A and B are shown apart, each in its own frame.
Chain A
Amino acid sequence: MIVMMNLLFMNPSAHHFAGVSLAYRPFLDPIDAHSWWLFLSLPLVFGIAVAYKAIRLPTLTHYWRQVFKMTTQVMAALILMCVALYVLVEVAVPYM
């Protein structure tokens, strides 16, 4: 019983194991994003662009355009690096 309680309250993945879902408490509990955490990179990059462009732009005339441009560029670079690493590890290295 103690082992089961420990699993329930200490290990988030144990909730699925036991078929029990505890209520999410904001700021106290982590979200269950283990299967889709990669998609959290998009709001991260957008937030960085919002703050960085507000500091660095000489004028704020085209602020939002610059924010979306930076977000797109960084996300495109991330995706390209993912593809390049996938090709290197899965395709190129096995033939070396």
Chain B
Amino acid sequence: MANEERYHHDAEPRLNPVATVLAWLVPGLGHWILGYRRRAKYIAAGILGLYLAGLLIGGVNIINRTDGFWWYCGQVCVGPETIVINYWREHHLPPDDPKDQTNYTYARPSYAKVNEVGTLYATLAGLLNLIAILDVLYKAPCAEGVGRRTPSRRREDSA
């Protein structure tokens, strides 16, 4: 079967610290570096899709280190963008005077189920990326070779 990216059970697994860090920086990049490129695309699509969907549903207020610390711990597993978003949100709080709010960029708070669902989306994305990070931490490279474009991979990439 062409390019199944079968996990290389026969090869000796090894520690991949660089791939682990890359997997945290960009979801899927750790698998990509190890040669599992098709898996990397699916992982990135799934995790970043959930994360962006969470932000679109609840707004950036779903990332709140102060009021939802344990949710934030899960969300930060998606990558450093969570830290940046939290920093931006904390420095763009709504002004106290409502008259100033019209000329000021700030995130409107989300409430109730919309906030909960958005938070759940982003946190589950983080926990899934944690699984991906742990997966690449101790793993053999792809059986088809790291970074090599085999004929089957070329076919898949062009499809």
Contacts and interface: CB of A to CB of B under 8 A. Distances in A.
Given A5-B98, A52-B128, A60-B5, A26 B56 contact: yes
Interface in B111-135: 111-115, 117-118, 120-121, 124-125, 128-129, 131-132, 135
Contact of B55 (A27, A51, A60): A27
A interface: dominant SS: helix
Contacts, number: 129
Interface string A38-70: 001001100111111111001111010000000
A28 B94 CA distance: 11
Interface string B20-60: 00000000000000000011001101110110010111111
Contacts of B132: 51, 55
Interface residues of B, number: 50
B interface: dominant SS: helix
Given A6-B98, A63-B42, A31 B114 contact: yes
A72 B131 CA distance: 22
Nearest to A3: B98
Interface of B: 1, 3-7, 38-39, 42-43, 45-47, 49-50, 53, 55-61, 94, 98-99, 101-102, 105-115, 117-118, 120-121, 124-125, 128-129, 131-132, 135
Q: Which 6 A-B pairs have the closest CB atoms?
A: A51-B46, A30-B110, A54-B42, A50-B46, A5-B98, A59-B4
Given A28-B105, A29-B107, A54-B42, 16 more contacts: A27-B107, A28-B106, A28-B107, A30-B59, A30-B114, A31-B56, A34-B112, A40-B121, A47-B125, A50-B42, A50-B49, A51-B128, A54-B39, A54-B43, A58-B7, A60-B38
Interface of A: 2, 5-6, 9-13, 25-34, 37, 40, 43-44, 47-55, 58-61, 63
